[in-house]
Structure 1
Amino acid sequence: MTKVTTRTVAYPADGLTMVGHLALPAGDDRRPAVLIGPEGPGLNDFQRRRADALAELGYVALAFDINGGRWFTDPQEMLAYVTPLLADPDRMRGIGRAALDVLRAQPRTDPDRIAGIGYGTGGAIVLELGRAGVDLRAIGTVNALITGRPGEAARIRCPVWAGVGSEDPIMPAEQRDAFTKEMQTAGVDWRLTVYGGALHAFHHPSVEHAVLPGVGHHPRHAQRAWRDIVDLLTECVPVTE
């Protein structure tokens, strides 16, 4: 297992001081890098561990913040914050670009080999970076089938993989169809994996006792979704020794 170094990074975005989690693999050479976006409640240890796991695989990884270091425990408070954010592509892009600038500035980051992955709101932010024409090598999202402004998906310059639960009421079949139509019309190299029987946020262990309806953990599919993300990164931004 590769030795990983981690540290907290603070940076400004969206009028807030964001608090991200940077994970670095052993060595001092430049490596491909991954931007990791968290779900609506914010950045917590789950996403920090994802960054650490990617660093163990040899990537420079930054789990970025979306709400100034907060973790929303009240679902209604979280929705009050996230709903207007998801309706504002420019604001999402600003949050994503600020984090991307931090990642690019790391001496270990190969600026020509950066991928973005994200969950829920963080996935929507990564997709907006793609729609803005940002040079990413891959985009992978879970529970983030948010469509963009008409025609802007044509700016996406990399393969897109998306995962969603079949029983997710927040991302129902109609939303899946709209998202895949957007990607197909734009000529994007896209894939969608639907995990049978899974609810929204099925990837996240702490939603086991969630109070929002339609949200629940699915351990088997959570592992599969993670493997699918790693496979995407291996294909598009392989770590070369």
Structure 2
Amino acid sequence: MTAITTRTVEYPADGLTMIGHLALPAGTGRRPAVLLGPEGVGLGDVDRRRADALAELGYAALAFDLHGGRYLGDPEEMLARCLPLLADPDRMRGIGHAALDVLRAQPRTDPERIAAVGYGTGGAIALELGRDGVDLRAIGTVNALTTGRPDETARIRCPVWAGVGSEDPIMPPAQRDAFTAEMQTAGVDWRLTIYGGALHAFHHPPVDHPTVPGVGHHPQHARRAWRDVVDLLTECLPVTAPKP
């Protein structure tokens, strides 16, 4: 396992002081980078571990914050914050751009080689960065088949991969159809993976707090979804050996 370094980073966004988790691979040279967005509950240990795993693969990774350092385990509190956020593309873009600026400013980041991967609300933010015309190498989303404002999806300039559970009541077939129709009409290089029998947030290990209905862990598909994310990055943002 490659040695990595991690630290927290504070930055302003959405009127809050965000506290992100930065994970860097060993060495001193610039590396391809991944902006990693969490589910609606906010940045937690699962997201930090994902960023660490990406750093072990050779990426500079920033798991960004949604709620000013808070993890919203209360479903009502989470929905009260996330539903208005998901209805406001400009707010989502503001959160995404603030985190992206932090990642780009890191001396270890190659600013020309960045991908955005997100889960739930974090995935919606990744998509909005693409719709805003940000130069990304890839966008990956799980549980975030959100549609955008008319004509803006054509501004996405990179491949998009999306994953969703077949039994996800929050992202039902009608939402899947709307998302894929939007991507196709816009001429985006898109892929959708449907994980049979999986619910919403199937990728997330069981939690010790209440959840919204329709959430459930699926260990096998969770592993598959992570492999699919890594495959997307390997294809679109390959890690090459650093120059001596």
TM-score, normalised to structure 1, is 0.99
Structure 2 counterpart of 1:148: 148
Q: Does 1:58 align with 2:24?
A: no
Q: Does 1:72 align with 2:48?
A: no
Question: What SS does the aligned partner of 2:107 have?
Answer: coil
Q: How far 1:211 moved relative to its partner? A: 3.5
CA contact (8 A) 1:210 1:216 kept: no
Counterparts of 1:154 and 1:239 in 2: how far apart (Å)? 28
Give the gaps of 5 or more residues in structure 1: none
Q: How far 1:212 moved relative to its partner? A: 1.9
CA contact (8 A) 1:207 1:216 kept: no
Alignment of 1:154-165 (within 5 A): 154-165=154-165
Counterparts of 2:87 and 2:232 in 1: how far apart (Å)? 28
Alignment of 1:31-50 (within 5 A): 31-50=31-50
Question: What SS does the aligned partner of 1:110 have?
Answer: strand
Structure 1 counterpart of 2:185: 185
> One-letter code of the match for 1:14?
D
Change over 3 Å in CA distance of 1:94–1:209 after alignment to 2: closer
Counterparts of 1:19 and 1:122 in 2: how far apart (Å)? 15
Counterparts of 1:122 and 1:164 in 2: how far apart (Å)? 14
Counterparts of 2:113 and 2:51 in 1: how far apart (Å)? 16
Structure 2 counterpart of 1:200: 200
Structure 2 counterpart of 1:84: 84
* Per-residue CA distance 1:101-146 (angstroms, 9 max, x = gap): 0000000000110000000000000000000000000000000001
Question: What SS does the aligned partner of 1:183 have?
Answer: helix
Count of aligned pairs: 241
Q: How far 1:213 moved relative to its partner? A: 1.3
Alignment of 1:16-35 (within 5 A): 16-35=16-35
CA contact (8 A) 2:117 2:126 kept: yes
CA contact (8 A) 2:123 2:140 kept: yes
Structure 2 counterpart of 1:110: 110
Q: Does 1:8 align with 2:8?
A: yes
* Per-residue CA distance 1:30-88 (angstroms, 9 max, x = gap): 10000000000100000000000000000000000011011111101100000000000
Change over 3 Å in CA distance of 1:210–1:193 after alignment to 2: farther
> One-letter code of the match for 1:88?
D
Q: How far 1:209 moved relative to its partner? A: 6.8
Question: What SS does the aligned partner of 1:162 have?
Answer: strand
Counterparts of 2:234 and 2:105 in 1: how far apart (Å)? 23
Q: How far 1:207 moved relative to its partner? A: 4.2
Counterparts of 1:94 and 1:211 in 2: how far apart (Å)? 27
CA contact (8 A) 1:207 1:215 kept: no
Counterparts of 1:213 and 1:14 in 2: how far apart (Å)? 28
CA contact (8 A) 1:208 1:217 kept: no
Structure 1 counterpart of 2:124: 124
Question: What SS does the aligned partner of 2:206 have?
Answer: helix
Percent identical among aligned pairs is 82
Counterparts of 2:124 and 2:70 in 1: how far apart (Å)? 19
CA contact (8 A) 1:139 1:159 kept: yes
Counterparts of 1:119 and 1:208 in 2: how far apart (Å)? 19
